[in-house]
Homo-oligomer: A and B are copies of this chain.
């Protein structure tokens, strides 16, 4: 269910104004972006972009969650990125991507024509700089995820994932005790963490039994003991994953 809309939301009311590709832009640059942008929305489960397909547009995630997934020839899959609001999809000079992009939620994207956007970059150093920052942030996140995939136990993986959602959730809303949306099925989570869905389910149950989290329903949980959760991640006090 892919819907394309001309821009309604004004940039200065945009929820990702200060974190997205446009965060460093001045008034003139914002006007330029505003005139170029359009919104697309996708329903949960829609494929936003197929691997290998030529890219028509690049986009920022405004709301919802999208995933980047790689598939091996025999069907094994591994998620290689989680695109939360303000993440940027598409890169200068890359006409195709090597993974599928899927909406796990209802997703709204702020889109720019790829070719026009690439021209814009050359004249807009603030955008080019921010694009570099976002790419480096993704590289950092990918490297932290390599540690998770290569060395962490199932319990540590789940704890890390929950902490990640918890941290991102409190970025928008300071209340740590509120219900957090999982956004994904057990199957999708297992793809992200390099596990099976059964193991994900068992580890959720275990963390609940240990009083670290609590589920209000299958898709929403509360962190009851943030410190204990962190102890289970295997990360040290300060460093570790920054998403």
Contact = CB atoms under 8 A, between A and B. Distances in A.
Given A78-B151, A92-B132, A146-B145, A72 B139 contact: no
Interface of A: 68, 70, 72-74, 76-78, 80-81, 91-94, 98-99, 122, 125, 128, 131-133, 135-136, 138-140, 142-147, 149-151, 193-194, 234-236, 239
A94 B137 CA distance: 11
21 contacts: A70-B146, A73-B234, A73-B236, A76-B151, A76-B234, A78-B147, A78-B151, A80-B146, A98-B143, A98-B239, A122-B125, A131-B132, A132-B132, A135-B136, A138-B139, A139-B142, A142-B142, A142-B143, A149-B194, A150-B194, A151-B194
7 smallest A-B Cβ distances: which pairs?
Answer: A150-B194, A149-B149, A142-B142, A80-B143, A73-B236, A149-B150, A78-B150
A227 to B, nearest CB: 15
A72 B147 contact: yes
Contacts of A128: 128, 132
